[in-house]
Amino acid sequence: MLDAILAKSANEFTIDDLLVLVKSNNQNANLDKIKEAYEFAKNAHRGQLRASGDPYILHPLITARNLAEINMPEEVIIAGLVHDVPEDTEHDLTEIEKLFGEDVKNLVEGITKLGKIKYRGFERYVENLRKMILAMAKDVRVIIIKCADRIHNLTTLEALPPDKQQRIAKESLEIFAPIANRLGIIKFQAQLELLAFKYVYPEEYNWVMSIYQDKDTEKKQEQMEVDIKQIEESFQKNGLKYLEIYGRSKHPYSLYRKLLKNYRDINRIYDLIAMRVIVPTIADCYMAMGLVHQLWKPLTGRVKDYIAQPKVNGYQSLHTTVFDNTGMITEIQIRTPEMHENAELGIAAHWIYNESKDPNKQNELKNKQHSWLQELKKWQQDIKNDPEAIKNMKLEMFSNRCFVFTPRGDVIELPEDATPVDFAYNIHTDIGNKCEGAYVNGKYVPLDTKLKNGDIIEIAINKNRKSPNQAWLKFVKTKIARSQIKQADKKSSFLSFNIFKKSKKEEK
């Protein structure tokens, strides 16, 4: 029944379907309150139509559906249903608070305060980004609702003029999708990117989509089905229980970005079609990888253990890339159900634990908050009146991430193309200031070297060094490195000025 509901188009989806979907995720949800919110929104929007010609109520209903599909709790579902009421009807926030409580009112107010974002020029772009960052720092659920709202807006873009299509799609690709990525909500990121991609880069979109229809790709998909059966037989023979084994294609926009980095050569892409293996326990993950490696030879340098050394955002999984019996290269990801849920839903998965009322899971919720979200609160003061700070923040937060290691094996998360100097400042300000050189994977490299995933970094310091090199500002990528280098320069200038004043006095 649930599969049938999820397969329905937007126009077929009903409030009863939403209630079934919510109930499947949360047995304790107040379905009567959710239905009340729907009826309230339906009456408030009565007579209103979308540009597509659909009744307006369809939009908040599908927004709520998107939220339910990532297991968000009932107050977020309710806020999704009524999020446009204060802005587009005669009803206000006071009425929403009276009917649905302060938490829902605060969520709707946060959405309303973001306003109607319009991507028009850099200054407007900076202001939009500033609003998004401040909203995230206050309550990340507001941004999750906005992403759910934007996904449905993108599905009806054909009803808008071309200039609006471009603006909304570009903003979705450059602001909303990266935010979904940083929140770890891969489902939202993939939807936002796919829906926006064809409007922002239509020719590139058609090119990438043609790859999925290519005969070689079709052969790979057929071979993967054969490989899955081989893995299943191996697991059964060796007594390893598994929950699910399936193939998945790389998301189109993600493939496009990777192709650009690999000279548009599809033969360099090893995870166009990849395999997911879901097993009950962590011990089963390692046993599964061992059995896979008995079947096929792993590709050198492509075995990654994100269970023993999770990514900074909490992502855990075993990754291996193998040559199967036909010579086809395939990436395989092995994980437990909880790891899989966290990988797909990111921060949204944490509310599932909170809903369980389990104290251990609630503590896990607190402990698993993304470090970059915590940084947002520290950066609020920086972005009030400094567009340059916002631009730098955008570059750091929304770039692809690079995961490198200290010599002791600690995982450090940095922006894409970060350097050893960024790494040094991430460890400690004093190490950054006294940085003299760096070893990457045991080899001495220049300080402007771009780091790659999996690199092991060791910093050589000069204890006699008094301040960092200002030339480093030309290549560092992180906010902490830039600010510390600039701060050291100001301090040095201040000391030099005082020494100059003192020498002048002594001359007199």
Single-letter amino acid code for the residue at 59? H
In 3-state terms, what secondary structure has residue 200? Answer: helix
Hey, what domains does the chain have and what are their CATH numbers? 1-100 (1.10.3210.10), 115-200+368-398 (no CATH), 209-335 (3.30.460.10), 401-507 (3.10.20.30)
| Contact yes or no for 313/184 (Cβ under 8 A) | yes
Instruction: Report the C-alpha gap between 399 and 391 in whole angstroms.
Output: 12
In 3-state terms, what secondary structure has residue 99? Answer: helix
Distance of CA 194 to the CA centre of its chain: 15
pLDDT of residue 502: 47
User: Model's pTM, two decimal places?
Assistant: 0.75
Does 416 participate in catalysis according to the annotation? no
Side by side, the strands of the sheet bearing 435-440 are 443-445, 435-440, 457-461
pLDDT of residue 366: 46
At residue 314, what are phi and psi to the nearest 5 degrees? 95, -5
Q: Number of helices (H) and strands (E), helices first, in the chain?
A: 25, 11
| From 16, 39, 87, 233, active-site residue | 87
At residue 262, what are phi and psi to the nearest 5 degrees? -115, 35
pLDDT over 70 (residue 280): yes
Task: Return the beta strands (E) in 341-446 as ranges.
Answer: 401-405, 411-415, 435-440, 443-445
Q: What percent of the chain has pLDDT over 70?
A: 80
pLDDT over 80 (residue 376): no
Which tens digits make up the pLDDT trace of 223-233?
999 999 999 99
Does 87 participate in catalysis according to the annotation? yes
Give the CA count within 13 Å in the CB-facing half-sphere of 302. 17
Which tens digits make up the pLDDT trace of 321-350?
999 999 888 999 999 999 998 888 877 776
Which tens digits make up the pLDDT trace of 67-121?
999 989 999 999 999 999 998 899 999 999 999 999 999 999 988 877 655 545 5
Task: Return the beta strands (E) in 324-432 as ranges.
Answer: 329-335, 401-405, 411-415
Instruction: Report the C-alpha gap between 474 and 418 in whole angstroms.
Output: 12
At residue 304, what are phi and psi to the nearest 5 degrees? -130, 130
Region 44-49 average pLDDT? 95
Region 359-379 average pLDDT? 52
pLDDT over 50 (residue 504): no
Instruction: Report the C-alpha gap between 435 and 425 in whole angstroms.
Output: 9
pLDDT over 60 (residue 372): no
What mean pLDDT value characterizes the chain? 84
Can you read off the two tokens belonging to residue 246? Answer: 């399936």
| Contact yes or no for 291/235 (Cβ under 8 A) | yes
Grade residue 290 by pLDDT with cuts at 50, 70 and 90. Answer: very high
Region 26-44 average pLDDT? 94
| From 16, 88, 214, 233, active-site residue | 88
DSSP code at position 47: T
Which tens digits make up the pLDDT trace of 427-439?
999 999 999 999 9
Q: Is 424 left (phi over 0), alpha (psi -120 to 50) or beta?
A: alpha
Grade residue 356 by pLDDT with cuts at 50, 70 and 90. Answer: very low
| Helix axis angle, 121-138 to 102-114, nearest 10° | 170
Q: Which of 278, 315, 65, 275 has the alpha carbon at shortest distance from 183?
A: 315
Helix (H) or strand (E) holding 193: helix 186-200
pLDDT over 80 (residue 157): yes
Using CB atoms within 10 A of its CB, is residue 27 exposed (0-12), middle (13-18) or buried (19+)? exposed
Can you read off the two tokens belonging to residue 282? Answer: 């962590």
pLDDT of residue 371: 54
Looking at the DSSP assignment, which residues form a beta bridge with residue 297?
A: 323
Highest mean pLDDT among 14-28, 385-399, 476-490: 14-28
pLDDT of residue 250: 85
Grade residue 442 by pLDDT with cuts at 50, 70 and 90. Answer: confident
Instruction: Report the C-alpha gap between 396 and 376 in whole angstroms.
Output: 12
pLDDT over 50 (residue 499): no
pLDDT over 80 (residue 150): yes
Which tens digits make up the pLDDT trace of 231-242?
999 999 999 999
Instruction: Report the C-alpha gap between 350 and 80 in whole angstroms.
Output: 19
pLDDT of residue 500: 40
3-state secondary structure string, 265-311?
A: CHHHCCCCEEEEEECCCHHHHHHHHHHHHHHCEECCCCCEECCCCCC
Which tens digits make up the pLDDT trace of 108-138?
998 887 765 554 555 555 666 666 666 666 7
Which tens digits make up the pLDDT trace of 253-269?
988 988 887 778 887 88
